[in-house]
Amino acid sequence: LAGTRIICDRKFLLECKSSPAARTPPCCLPQTPAVTSLAQSSLVKLEELKERNESEEAMPGEQPRAAAP
């Protein structure tokens, strides 16, 4: 079987990386939690971490807390 081989140079691929089309998912892509989109629990944890970081930044002078293992 013979196929067509597509050859792209490095410069072209790097330009494609920063393209607006490369930063948006395809419209027909199914929403699979934790694969194509963040799982709901991950979103909640992300919001909690963001709020904690903002509150720590708002209180200067305090020692940063150690992260829980």
Q: Is 37 helix (H, G, I), strand (E, B) or coil?
A: strand
pLDDT bin (cut points 50, 70, 90) of residue 10 is very high
Q: Look at residue 40 in the predicted model and tell me its pLDDT.
A: 61
**pTM of the predicted model, to two decimals?**
0.30
Alpha-carbon torsion angle 20, 23, 27, 29, nearest 10:
160
Q: How far is CA 22 from the centre of its chain?
A: 13
**pLDDT tens across 41-61, in order?**
666 777 888 888 888 777 666
What does DSSP assign to residue 35?
T
What is the rounded CA–CA span in Å between residue 63 and residue 51? 17
Query: Which has the higher per-residue pLDDT, 62 or 31?
Result: 31
